[in-house]
Amino acid sequence: MASPTYQPRVNTSGNGWRNPPLGGGESGGGRLSHQPRPDEDQSGPTGPKPRPGYGLRGPRRSPHVLTAESLASLTLPVGDDGVIIGIDPQNQPAVLSLLRPAPMEIALVGSMWMAQLLALRTVAIGARVAVETARPPAWGQMAQAAGGGQQCVSVHDVRQIAPQGPSVSSPVLVVRDMGARPPRNQLAPSPWQSVLTVLPFLGPRSPQMLGRADLVGMQRLSPEEAEVVTRIMRLPEQVSAVLPTLSDNAMLWCSRDGHQFVMTQPTEAETNLLGGPRRMD
């Protein structure tokens, strides 16, 4: 079967960018296809006519220009990001940035109640929580209630926790609840994966843990424990005197940059799930 052949198209206008006018001769005397007919031009609406290829012309005003001297007056109020853990002495929200692009190690000298409250509020900001604990039943009810049916909190036995695969879109808080002498951590802090170790009281290895932690939270301590913490964290003497007198929902949070007292106020839903604030479980 023979292949069909086609005659080459001839552009009689002599211009390679456009085709010759339709309906007109080679002289170009006919109406161009994109121009309106006389009857259309008369019946069309009044007003500014569009320029070919540009549409209607906008308002003839000068653009709004901001001088360089006025830039300093522009402000964008942006608050801290993180977990709201309560209010400070000035009755302002206290926010902890528990999840960061850099590794972070946290020590909490306090109750499981406080650790579970932090875990719930960490889930509320869209993170995952992995709990390595010697008392899984105590964490089971909270893990089932968190996330509204989604598995946002996973509970693991001691030394049975697997890598969590943290990322910027799925950060992880690893909670270690294994008494005053926790074993070596299998999941070290990494970017977007912070490790929170719960200490019910200070043990023989606690000073080392507090010394290397990036953030330390403390509920009420005994006078002897307050002296140890004051020496390790280099706290003022007046702060050391307050630590043995804290209420069950008050805490002291310390970092290398300073310290802050915080009053934790549980919501009604948190109280129904965890009970009231307490220092010991």
Q: Which residues of 29-44 are buried (b: 16+ CB within 10 A; e: fewer)?
A: eeeeeeeeeeeeeeee
SS3 29: coil
Assess if residue 142 is contained within a domain: yes
Assess if residue 68 is contained within a domain: no
Report percent pLDDT > 90 for the chain: 52
- Looking at residue 38, its pLDDT comes to 57
Assess if residue 65 is contained within a domain: no
Assess if residue 46 is contained within a domain: no
What is the rounded distance in angstroms from the CA atom of residue 13 to the CA atom of residue 125?
68
- Looking at residue 186, its pLDDT comes to 81
Contact at 8 Å (CB) between 123 and 108? Answer: no
Assess if residue 16 is contained within a domain: no
Q: How many distinct structural domains can be found in the chain?
A: 1
For residue 267, give the CATH number of its domain.
3.40.50.300
Assess if residue 19 is contained within a domain: no
Which is higher by pLDDT, 190 or 281?
190
pLDDT at 208 over 50: yes
Which is higher by pLDDT, 215 or 3?
215
Assess if residue 96 is contained within a domain: yes
Contacts (Cβ under 8 Å, ≥6 apart) of 223: 244
Would you give the DSSP letter of residue 19?
P
Assess if residue 9 is contained within a domain: no
Q: Which residues form the domain of 205?
A: 83-272
Report percent pLDDT > 70 for the chain: 74
